Amino acid sequence: MAHVRDQESLKIIERCQVSPPPNSIPTTSIPISFLDIPWLYISPIQRIFFYEFPFPTQTFLQTLIPKLKHSLSITLQHFFPFASNLVYPPKPHFPYFLYQDGDSIPFTIAESTTNFDTSYLTPPNMSQICTHLFPRCLHLVPRRMEHVIYLSWRFSKNGDSTSHEASVPLPFHNSDIIQDPKGLRKLKMMENMWNSPTPSKEIAIVFTDMVRATFVLSPDQIERLKKWVIAKCSNSDHFKTLHISTFVVTSSLIWVCFVRSEEIIGYNVPNDDELYHLIFLADCRNHHEVSIPSTYFGNCLGYRTVTMKRSELVGNNAIVEAVRAIKCQVRDVLSDPFKGLDTMTPEHKGRVVSGHGVVIAGSPKLGVYETNFGWGKPKKSEVVHIDSSKSIAFSDCRDNEGGVEVGLTLGRIQMNNFTAIMKKYLSDITNLNH
């Protein structure tokens, strides 16, 4: 599906700020932990939600918008760091979040005449919470929002803070729970940041021939893929003792198709010894060596980079080789969840992503299509920044429990090539399983 960027079809109705209820939160500062530092200079995931709303615009503006604003205000009372400011004091002091009464987040209401059934609108600036009205469709755009705040916003949509508190566990904000007693990791990582050149402001460039597509892998296709990989590795004791997850096989298939799709007429294909990188994130709060409450409201992510030669990713055994490499890094997270975080600098990010690197954004486990504000499941959800960040978006499926939605943006010719390659892989795997 191609992006539509017709600014004339977008009419801004209102711009405002939403704060927690007045005097509901004292002035509060929260020091960052060493787990927050790598994400200070990395663009946030920007996800949009489309909802069916088959009522007149005036009904939406007069009835629904006031409730949304009020419930968002109540939600921010508990998730006030979203409305706070990130303060960078002079070296050698560490950054911290500071909330003061009246701090707020922007909220924009706009109306569009874009036909949702054939296209959707993606404004170039996604730095704020937006509500876009489409014909029969409601569109929500978050700013650095995690899944949990949507759950809270959903439960408090009627402005009932009591039902909200009873339905959703309240967040835990004390970053001292992160174990770094001497502050050595924080100091080392901040030194890396202080000594790095100031990263230039990222500018999203979307070429005119770029198209966006969503591919859905059904539970049956994923299961067949797992069985096919296991059969290919039947002589390997390594695979006999390891569980091959949906994430591993899906990532392997998509990565191989992505790399192979570069082999198109007129494309400058690298040589076989060129290194390719796949970056994925891992939630580490449940790790046995990390005592962090499930309600902790802060970063608790590790990351891993899978590196392979191009020859391995385009060979006859490419998917199996990718499974081996990705599975090895997944297993490594279990043994040392925070390995490599202290080397994650702006230069590192630039080297990987500007080269042959791709990032997995999102996860099927986040339950994107469970984000119900009272209008049913979202009709569609999209990750915006994959247009310009060399990312591939993973999420759960709207109508196919256990399946995976994969979103990516490529040039039109490469997208056609990608589609044909993946279709051939899935067809071959299905035939072999019969």
Same domain, 92 and 167: yes
Kindly state whether residues 144 and 256 are assigned to the same domain: no
pLDDT tens digit string along 395-407? 999 888 899 999 9
Q: Pick the last residue of a domain from 194, 222, 249.
A: 194
Burial class (CB in 10 A: 0-12, 13-18, 19+), 117: exposed
Residues 263 and 352 grouped into a single domain: yes
Q: Based on the fold, state whether residues 244 and 189 are members of the same structural domain.
A: no
pLDDT at 202 over 60: no
Residues 332 and 263 in one domain: yes
Beta strands in 199-253 (DSSP E): 210-217
Residue 204 lies in a domain: no
> What pLDDT score does 61 carry?
83
Among 166, 194, 222, identify where a domain stops.
194
Burial 165-176 (b: 16+ CB within 10 A, else e): eeebeebebebe
The pLDDT of residue 300 is: 84
Do residues 278 and 326 make contact, with C-beta atoms less than 8 angstroms apart? Answer: yes
**187 and 229 together in one domain:** no
Are residues 161 and 245 located together in one domain of the fold? no
Residues 186 and 231 in one domain: no
Mean pLDDT score, 305-311: 93
- Exposed/middle/buried for 422, CB within 10 Å: 0-12, 13-18, 19+? buried
Residue 201 binned pLDDT confidence (cut-offs 50, 70, 90) = very low
Length of the chain in terms of residues written: 434
Whether the CA torsion 228, 231, 233, 239 is positive or negative: it is positive
Asked if residue 399 belongs to a domain, the reply is yes
The domain in which residue 236 lies consists of: 210-433
What's the whole-number mean pLDDT along residues 221-232? 90
Q: For residue 37, is it within any domain? A: yes
Q: Among 162, 194, 226, identify where a domain stops.
A: 194
pLDDT tens digit sequence for 242-283: 678 999 999 999 999 999 998 765 566 778 888 999 999 888
- Integer Cα distance of 312 and 146 in angstroms: 36
Count of CB atoms situated within 10 Å of the CB of 76: 26
Residues 141 and 166 both lie in one domain: yes
| Count of domains forming the chain | 2
Question: What pLDDT does residue 353 have?
Answer: 60
Q: Where are the beta strands (DSSP E) in 115-208?
A: 129-134, 137-141
Supply angle C-alpha 72, 78, 81, rounded to 5: 90
186 and 246 together in one domain: no
Which of 259, 246, 243 minimizes the C-alpha distance to 363?
A: 246
Please give the average per-residue pLDDT across 92-115, as a whole number: 86
Q: Kindly state whether residues 409 and 273 are assigned to the same domain.
A: yes
Across the range 326-336, mean pLDDT stands at 86
- Model confidence at 236, pLDDT cuts 50, 70, 90, reads low
> Would 199 be classed as within a structural domain?
no
Same domain (yes/no): 30, 60: yes
CATH number of the structural domain spanning residue 47: 3.30.559.10
| Whole-number Å distance between alpha carbons of 341 and 357 | 18
Poorest-pLDDT segment among 47-61, 106-120, 216-230, 304-318: 106-120
On whether residue 1 sits in a domain, the answer given is no
Averaged over 356-360, what is the pLDDT? 88
Domain-embedded: residue 2:
no
